[in-house]
Structure 1
Amino acid sequence: MTLDPRLAVLLTPDRQSVLFATKGVIAMALALYLSMLLQLDRPYWALISAVFLQVRPETGLVIEKGFCQIGGTLVGGAVGLLILAWLLPYPALAIGALTLWIGLNAGASAWVRQANFIYGFAMAGITATLIVVLAIVDPANTSSLGIFHIANARVSEIILGALCATLVSSLLWPVRVSSLLKEHARTALNQTLAYLELELDPAGTHAKRHHQVDTLLQGIFALSDDSSAVHYEGSHGPGASPRSHGNLPQDPVAGRSHSRDRAPDAQPRRSADPGPARPAGCLADRLPAHARNLLPPNRP
């Protein structure tokens, strides 16, 4: 008996889905428990903070998003307090200043492409909005101490939720960014080969080539965006960049300096062998026949 695909997703989930859901529940429960234990005003803010950080399961991305969330919350809280300190007696002007701040964050987020940085700008606008609106809706019972308590509660609970999500993602079944980057690189390589095949195909159309280029650029952008989170997984972890392991090729400038220090009469040895034939299974063999005919006979 074959289950319906929709039921199969619910009744027979794969291991990664189960771990993702388990880590999310643990992070939310831990954030909610600690916020209630500390008697914070709005524990659900800590819970929501932990939920948003678990959208991407990779540890480096969770840490990076946590930094952006905390930084945006601190900046937004400070701006909200400044708006209320100057314009609390004038609600219309306070709303105007808040609108200007939200517009500045929206414009700044349009200049960045990385999703976590955009999220940081969004948190700066949302935090200022909550602080200002909660104070303006009840001006008769609003005081300087009450405004400070609102800002303090927002910042404290967001930071607590971010710390819980980061701790759970780092300690319980961590998912490294290296696996994600390898998948992005493999996809970009396959899309590049598909574009070359389409470009060298006489029957290829401009519309197909344009669509293939768009698909290729999407894969390259995803690889570039997610690579920024490698640095948060340590210099010796599985997700570290090749530079941190010392696996990069030698600097060509240093190589030229070394060759200049060589004795004048020393000549580099040249092999009489013209080079090996094209190895089986290389990238050129994946091109169509009419494209392979354009390559030199011994080109790898």
Structure 2
Amino acid sequence: MSDTATASATSSNATGVRAAFVDWWRTDGLTWIYLLKALAAAFLALAIAMRLDLPQPRTAMTTVFIVMQPQSGAVLAKSFYRIGGTLVGLVATLVLVALFSQHSELFLGALAIWTGICTAGAARNRNFRSYGFLLAGYTAALIGIPAAQQPNGAFISAMTRVSEVTLGVLCAGFVSALVMPQHASEQMRSAVRARFSRFVDYVAAVLARRIEPAHVERTNAQFLAEFVGFEAMRSIAVFEGPETRLRSNRLARLNSEFMTASTRLHALHQLMNRLRAQEATETTEALEPYFVELGTLMQTPGEPVLSAADASRAAQTLQTYKSELPRRVRQTRTVLIETRPDCALLDFDTASELLYRFVDDMHAYTLTYASLATATHERERSPERYEPKTNAVATAIAGVRGALLMGALSAFWIATAWPNGGTLVFVAAATAALASSSPTPTRMATQMSIGTVLAAIVGFVVEFGVYPHIDGLPMLCVALTPPLALGVFLTTRPKIAGIGAGYCIFFCTLAGPDNVTRYDPSGYADSAFALVLSMLACALAFALIVPPSTPWLRAHFIADLRRQVVLACRAPLARVRGRFESRARDLAFQAHAIEQQTSDAPREALAWLVVVLEFGHAVIDLRGELEALPPDPRYAASMPWRRGISRARGALVALFERPSARSLDAALAATIDAIAAVQQALITFEPPRDERHRLQRILSYLHFVRTALIDPHSPLAAFAPAAREDVRAGTSETGASHAS
């Protein structure tokens, strides 16, 4: 008995130790693996550079820490754009040196303009493309400033520097891809699975009214971040192998369909809340059974959707439910007419149409998820592309700020004739571009300043206290391991990653070994002072020259977000939905990131995002139904009811371009007039069944717009009179269900 108990205890302890090791391996273990890989890549680049007798081996080592990432795909993506940017910067350097090398003021002025353009490009592209622009500007400054002082050796200097950078990129990619690689594609599979399951749970909770408004807002913010993060991860994963590339378009489509389904669910949720607030009990009670059924259907006990293969079963269930829904809604509507003749049928029709649209969007999302189980699939075609782009005004500000910073530091260099003025200028070019692509540029530049100070202190100890006592590459690597490991570890801590980046990069710049070591304490101190001063100048520029938290800039982001409704009203219909959805969410993500930096900033971005998505989708659906009408004179654009809809769209454009009490009243009046005109058209002539259903869907979208315009919880309510009586559109007895 005792032996059995001992064996059981031993087995339990072994299981606990194994579980603890697995947990450590998945968290801190990955950090240590990344740290060792970064050091191995840096030492490999250093050894090859020294073996090839390159002038500055430290440049190759510095490049490793700039491009190194935990995921192999991130390293490859970063390296691809870094090499491309370096080559562009090389060409720009040779052109600037050839044109202005004999006139330092003209050269530095042209270099400042070029750096401003590259800084704007880095700020505009919030993905790995930003590194291409970063390197195009940084390389021009790094190579161009010394080359302009010795133009006869400009070409050789440029080529050797490009060789050093390319060597560092290749070593980072080689080690990352071959030594215990960590693939973003594996994280993406887990993210897809987890997001689908979490969204299903959220849908069930929303439909069952088991969710608080504050939780809805937090979930929308989480969905917004997941949407942007998923696209960033997908852009990385395509570099890792053919398997992900074969599914890349489907993954983009999956993200787009997730966006659409979440937007449709929120619109349905908002409409039902408005109807409950208006005490439209007949409509809400008639639709409640459908919500209960759908929530139960998506959470079938014992049959969870855990993989793409499982999603096929869920897609079939949704298809069956969707095909039966129109008939059942028509029956419910008939019963409603017979038992509640005073019921507002337009409310019921609008809510049932949104319900059907949500089921259809959720079915498409599930089908795309199921298609990931196969290598090739027809859903790979016609993807909706999303590319994160910073607001144009913020981009221009970043470019002007970078050019002004370079110009001011260049003027300081010329005025003082400081020997290390060149270092001051080209480091500012790199820091300005790097920080511009960060959501918190001032914080990024400040953290890099702190990291540079730390690097200067540690580097001084290594340079003058360690190097004189060692000999040979093995001992050099041993001596560099502790200080470099500290920097790499700091980069793995999200809150202080800027300190780690500044430390790693500028430790190599200051104390990185060369083929022939020169011990010059005063020169070292002067270089360190130039680096720190450059960082502080960048932080000061970001803090003073239109910082991102400026109320004016925040308001501009919100205005740009509102203008996406104008896009939905006017852009060509072919691919407007994907452009509208991704652009609106991207702008909201940028505005929300800025709001989070300031504790007293009002949280407007998410509120306006909800409104913009509601109106935008309704207008796009409305335009789609109008486009699908047959070529019949009764449906011509010159008909009074079509002109009424055009006036309503124009009023919405005016409202979202310049919201005011007057434009809000005009939009509401035009929408009510359009509803009345469509109702009158339905009464005037008897169209065939399919055409009648289409007109009723048009009526539903107009009615949804009307309810959104008078929503007291909408940001638009700030422009409404304090005591406006709710004007309800007249009910119509015409038409059957339009969830068909």
TM over 0.5: yes
SS, match of residue 226 in structure 1: helix
Which of residues 138, 141, 146 is equivalent to 1:129?
A: 141
Give the C-alpha shift of residue 48 in structure 1.
Answer: 1.1
Whole-Å Cα distance in 1 between the matches of residues 194 and 146 of structure 2? Answer: 47
Q: Does 1:30 align with 2:51?
A: no
Corresponding residue for residue 155 of structure 2 = 148
* 2:152 alignment partner AA: S
1:117-266 alignment runs, 5 A limit: 117-136=129-148, 139=149, 142-145=150-153, 147-186=154-193, 188-189=195-196, 192-193=199-200, 196=203, 199-200=206-207, 208-236=215-243, 239-242=244-247
Whole-Å Cα distance in 1 between the matches of residues 135 and 93 of structure 2? Answer: 12
Whole-Å Cα distance in 1 between the matches of residues 238 and 218 of structure 2? Answer: 33
* 1:46 alignment partner AA: A
* 2:301 alignment partner AA: A
Deviations 1:127-185 (A, max 9, x none): 0111222235xx3xx1322x223211220001001111111112111112221212332
* 1:230 alignment partner AA: A
Q: Is the 8 A contact 1:191 1:216 kept in 2?
A: no
SS, match of residue 280 in structure 1: coil
Q: Is the 8 A contact 2:89 2:138 kept in 1?
A: yes
Deviations 1:19-54 (A, max 9, x none): 211111110010000001111111111001112222
Whole-Å Cα distance in 1 between the matches of residues 111 and 202 of structure 2? Answer: 48
Give the C-alpha shift of residue 108 in structure 1.
Answer: 2.2
Whole-Å Cα distance in 2 between the matches of residues 27 and 19 of structure 1? Answer: 12
Q: Does 1:110 align with 2:123?
A: yes
Q: Does 1:91 align with 2:104?
A: yes
Corresponding residue for residue 74 of structure 1 = 87
Q: Which moved more, 1:199-208 or 1:39-48?
A: 199-208
SS, match of residue 239 in structure 2: helix
* 2:51 alignment partner AA: L
* 1:18 alignment partner AA: W
Whole-Å Cα distance in 2 between the matches of residues 21 and 122 of structure 1? Answer: 25
SS, match of residue 54 in structure 2: coil
SS, match of residue 232 in structure 1: coil
* 2:62 alignment partner AA: I
Give the C-alpha shift of residue 89 in structure 1.
Answer: 1.4
Corresponding residue for residue 67 of structure 2 = 53
Q: Is the 8 A contact 1:181 1:226 kept in 2?
A: yes
Give the C-alpha shift of residue 101 in structure 1.
Answer: 1.1
Change in 2 beyond 3 A, CA 1:206/1:104: farther
Give the C-alpha shift of residue 84 in structure 1.
Answer: 1.0
SS, match of residue 233 in structure 1: coil
Q: Is the 8 A contact 2:97 2:151 kept in 1?
A: no
Whole-Å Cα distance in 2 between the matches of residues 224 and 175 of structure 1? Answer: 18
Change in 2 beyond 3 A, CA 1:174/1:87: same
Higher RCO (Cα < 8 Å, 6 or more apart):
1
* 1:179 alignment partner AA: E
Q: Is the 8 A contact 2:76 2:239 kept in 1?
A: yes
Give the C-alpha shift of residue 188 in structure 1.
Answer: 3.6
Q: Is the 8 A contact 1:81 1:131 kept in 2?
A: no
* 2:109 alignment partner AA: G
Whole-Å Cα distance in 2 between the matches of residues 191 and 94 of structure 1? Answer: 56
Whole-Å Cα distance in 1 between the matches of residues 43 and 105 of structure 2? Answer: 40
Q: Is the 8 A contact 1:105 1:122 kept in 2?
A: yes
Whole-Å Cα distance in 1 between the matches of residues 111 and 198 of structure 2? Answer: 45
Change in 2 beyond 3 A, CA 1:14/1:204: closer
Give the C-alpha shift of residue 125 in structure 1.
Answer: 0.8
Whole-Å Cα distance in 2 between the matches of residues 203 and 75 of structure 1? Answer: 56
With the length of structure 1 as denominator, give the TM-score of the two structures. 0.69
Q: Does 1:280 align with 2:288?
A: no
Q: Is the 8 A contact 1:184 1:222 kept in 2?
A: no
Change in 2 beyond 3 A, CA 1:220/1:191: farther
State the number of aligned residues.
Answer: 237
* 1:222 alignment partner AA: G
Whole-Å Cα distance in 1 between the matches of residues 84 and 301 of structure 2? Answer: 52
Give the C-alpha shift of residue 240 in structure 1.
Answer: 5.0
Whole-Å Cα distance in 2 between the matches of residues 126 and 242 of structure 1? Answer: 35
Whole-Å Cα distance in 1 between the matches of residues 167 and 44 of structure 2? Answer: 10
Give the C-alpha shift of residue 59 in structure 1.
Answer: 1.6
Whole-Å Cα distance in 1 between the matches of residues 133 and 198 of structure 2? Answer: 33
Whole-Å Cα distance in 1 between the matches of residues 237 and 209 of structure 2? Answer: 42
Corresponding residue for residue 64 of structure 1 = 77
Change in 2 beyond 3 A, CA 1:242/1:41: same
Q: Does 1:19 align with 2:33?
A: yes
Corresponding residue for residue 584 of structure 2 = none
RMSD of Structure 2 on Structure 1 (CA): 3.1
Q: Which runs of 5+ in 1 are unaligned?
A: 1-12, 249-276, 285-295
Change in 2 beyond 3 A, CA 1:281/1:108: farther
Give the C-alpha shift of residue 201 in structure 1.
Answer: 7.2
Q: Does 1:39 align with 2:53?
A: yes
* 1:164 alignment partner AA: C
With the length of structure 2 as denominator, give the TM-score of the two structures. 0.30
SS, match of residue 110 in structure 1: helix
* 1:213 alignment partner AA: N
SS, match of residue 55 in structure 2: coil
Deviations 1:245-269 (A, max 9, x none): xxx9xxxxxxxxxxxxxxxxxxxxx
Whole-Å Cα distance in 2 between the matches of residues 192 and 216 of structure 1? Answer: 9
Change in 2 beyond 3 A, CA 1:129/1:201: farther
Q: Is the 8 A contact 2:100 2:107 kept in 1?
A: yes
Q: Is the 8 A contact 1:184 1:219 kept in 2?
A: no
Whole-Å Cα distance in 1 between the matches of residues 210 and 173 of structure 2? Answer: 52
SS, match of residue 126 in structure 1: helix
* 2:99 alignment partner AA: W
